[in-house]
Structures are given as C-alpha cells and as structure tokens.
Amino acid sequence: MASIPFDQRDGVIWYNGRLCPWAETKIHVLSHGLHYASSVFEGERVYGGTVYKLREHTERLIYSANVLGFSLPYSADQIDAAHAEVLAASGITDGYVRPVAWRGSEMMGVSAQQNSIHLAIAAWEWPSYFSPEARMAGIRLRISDWRRPDPRTAPVHAKAAGLYMICTLSKHKAESEGYHDALMLDWRGQVAEATGANIFLLIDGKLHTPKPDCFLDGITRRTVIGLARARGLEVIERAILPEEFAQADEVFLTGTAAEVTPVGEIGPYKFTPGQVCQAMIADYDAEVRRPVATPSTAAVA
Ligand SMILES: Cc1ncc(COP(=O)(O)O)c(C=O)c1O
C-alpha cells in the first residue's frame, strides 16, 4: 500500500500552542531551521495510549535545543501536556510521536540571534520500523563510508536535524545496494551506531556496546542495558572495533523506532539471531507495555 505523503494526512498537529489542521500546518520557506539545520527533534512511541518515557524524551528535546543555543518557549510540563492534547485529539493509542523545534524566519543568515523558536508535535499510527519478516531473519547492514564526527566537530549528543545528513547519506547508499540500513563507524574507526539506532554484540555470553562518546546515548539503549543486567547478563560499554564482529554470536539494534531489532549481517560478517535477541525483544516488549500508574491510580494504591 502506497503511504499517504506526510503533508497530506488527516488529523491535527500541535503547533505553537494550538491544534491545527494537519495539511495546513506549514512553515515559511525562509525558515532558519530549513536552511541552517537549527532544528532539533524527538522520536517517541505510544504504547496503549501512553508515550513510553515521555519525560526523558522531552528533557532530551530541551537539552538538544539548548546545545544548539536556543530555549524552547515551553516548560517540560507544557510539552508533555501538549502531547496529551495531540493524542486525545487524534485517538492514537499505538503509534509514533514527532516533536520538532526550530528557529523561524526573522533573520536569514548564519547568525539568527533574534529568531523566534517554534515547536510542533505530530503523531501517527506506526507499525514496526522494519518488517516482521526482516526482523525475524535479522536485518542486513552495510558499513557506511561516512563516519560519526568527533565531539569537537559537531554537537554529537543532541538529537539535532543536521546530524541526520550523515544518516540519510549512509542509509540511501545501503538501500541502493539492497541492505536495510547502514552501520556507521566513528571518526576513529570504532563501531558507533546505525542510522537511527544503537548497537549491541553478544560475545562469549556477554553483551558489548560502544561507549556513547560521539553519538546519541539512546533512551532504548539505556533501557535495554537495564533489562539485560536485570536478567543477569553482563553488559560492557567499551570501544569496539569492526573486526570484532567476527567474534559476535548475536547482534541487535535498539531504538525507539527499531525497538530491539536482530541483525543478520554487517558487511562481510554474518550472525544468527538467537536466544539473547529473543529474550531482549520479549523483555523490551513487556517493559514498554507495562501498565504505568497514573496519579489517580497511584493515589488509590
Ligand atoms: C542516530 C540515532 N542513534 C540512536 C538512536 C536511538 O535513540 P533512542 O533509543 O533514544 O530512540 C536514534 C533514535 O532516536 C537515532 O536517531
């Protein structure tokens, strides 16, 4: 089924404080965010009507904006309340939420000290990032020619739109060669992350994952580390070289969109998704669907 273009859907988008008809929610072509990538965003999932770890996402959005030198004109409480408005108006119980903040149009040049800051929040129904068949088989990753930058080169811990240029370049190249996604090394040649997800390797019964010193320390990554340790699995955060894929028995990706996605192939290296992939998929699934106590139910308990 051809998907409906994202600017032509029905529904509402929360835009600068109010709900607007989806197809009419537009920005001016001379927006700083568009020309100079002064834009930050979040990717969130709704499970059973609740955004998983909403406050962590909201805090990261505020942090990312601050790293890019601007402040959102809304508090974390207001942003969370705006999410509730969008979800109530759209009736989405299982889907994806995309808050995005950017500099507007008052100044058009590298300097944009006077520009207003805008915030929009859209939500839509969204199934698994990768198809169920691809997940079961383990997805195929191409090792990208592009690398994650040195933290002295770019604000690597912000979820900033500009950093995704490298991801799109990498993913397009991978897809053009029949892969599902790309695995990016960092500026030193160490394993970094996929284009929208972090990576874990099972070596000798222990989970190894790169230290997030020049890429996003994913909320899912941190959740999965906690779940793995709760299962008694040792998790080691360290520098990992691509040659070490030869020793890995299982590999999986983690991310809000990807959830836990087994990997079957990275360049010349092959893996068979096994018990640890299955266990982490099951644990993550149970975790995100765990009922969350609301203030009223908590008061009764
Ligand atoms: C480049 C990149 N790395 C990692 C992640 C995983 O982060 P999270 O688990 O917070 O979604 C994402 C997704 O937001 C991403 O875009």
Q: CB burial class (10 A; 0-12, 13-18, 19+) of residue 98?
A: middle
**Which ranges in the chain belong to alpha helices (H)?**
32-36, 54-67, 76-90, 132-137, 164-176, 219-230, 275-288, 295-300
Predicted local confidence at residue 1, as pLDDT: 45
Q: How far is the CA of 196 from the centre of ligand 1 (A)?
A: 5
Predicted local confidence at residue 2, as pLDDT: 61
The protein residue whose alpha carbon is closest to atom 1 in ligand 1 is: 196
Domains and CATH numbers, the chain: 12-125 (3.30.470.10), 132-287 (3.20.10.10)
For a substitution probing ligand 1, which of 148, 198, 209 has the most ligand atoms within 8 Å of its CB?
A: 198
Ligand 1 atom index nearest CA of 42: 14
- Give the separation between CA 18 and CA 85, rounded to whole angstroms: 9
Predicted local confidence at residue 298, as pLDDT: 40
Q: Are strands 117-125 and 139-148 parallel, antiparallel or unpaired?
A: unpaired
Residues with C-beta less than 6 Å from any ligand 1 atom = 43, 167, 193, 196-198, 215-216, 218-221, 254-256
Q: Which amino acid is at 143?
A: I
Instruction: Look up residue 21 and give its two tokens.
Output: 């008809």
Predicted local confidence at residue 293, as pLDDT: 62
In the 8-state DSSP scheme, what is residue 160?
A: B
In the 8-state DSSP scheme, what is residue 290?
A: S
Q: How far is the CA of 61 from the centre of ligand 1 (A)?
A: 12
Predicted local confidence at residue 62, as pLDDT: 98
Q: How far is the CA of 107 from the centre of ligand 1 (A)?
A: 31
Ligand 1 atom index nearest CA of 256: 11
Q: How far is the CA of 134 from the centre of ligand 1 (A)?
A: 20
What pTM does this model have? 0.94
Q: pLDDT tens digits for 149-174? A: 999 999 999 999 999 999 999 999 99
The protein residue whose alpha carbon is closest to atom 7 in ligand 1 is: 218
Cβ atoms of 57 and 76 closer than 8 Å: no
- Give the separation between CA 285 and CA 253, rounded to whole angstroms: 14
The per-residue pLDDT string of the chain (301 residues; one tens digit each, 9 = 90 and over) reads 468 999 999 999 999 999 999 999 999 999 999 999 999 999 999 999 999 999 999 999 999 999 999 999 999 999 999 999 999 999 999 999 999 999 999 999 999 999 999 999 999 998 666 665 667 689 999 999 999 999 999 999 999 999 999 999 999 999 999 999 999 999 999 999 999 999 999 999 999 999 999 999 999 999 999 999 999 999 999 999 999 999 999 999 999 999 999 999 999 999 999 999 999 999 999 999 887 765 444 443 3
Of 76, 82, 72, 71, nearest in space to 55 by CA: 76
- Count CA atoms closer than 13 A to 14's CA, side-chain side: 25
For a substitution probing ligand 1, which of 42, 256, 287 has the most ligand atoms within 8 Å of its CB?
A: 256
Q: Is 206 left (phi over 0), alpha (psi -120 to 50) or beta?
A: beta
The protein residue whose alpha carbon is closest to atom 5 in ligand 1 is: 197
Q: What is the CA radius of gyration of the chain?
A: 20
Catalytic residue ranges: 159
The protein residue whose alpha carbon is closest to atom 16 in ligand 1 is: 196
Predicted local confidence at residue 126, as pLDDT: 86
Strands (DSSP E) found in the chain: 12-15, 18-21, 39-41, 44-47, 50-51, 95-103, 117-125, 139-148, 181-186, 191-194, 198-203, 206-210, 235-238, 250-255, 259-266, 269-270
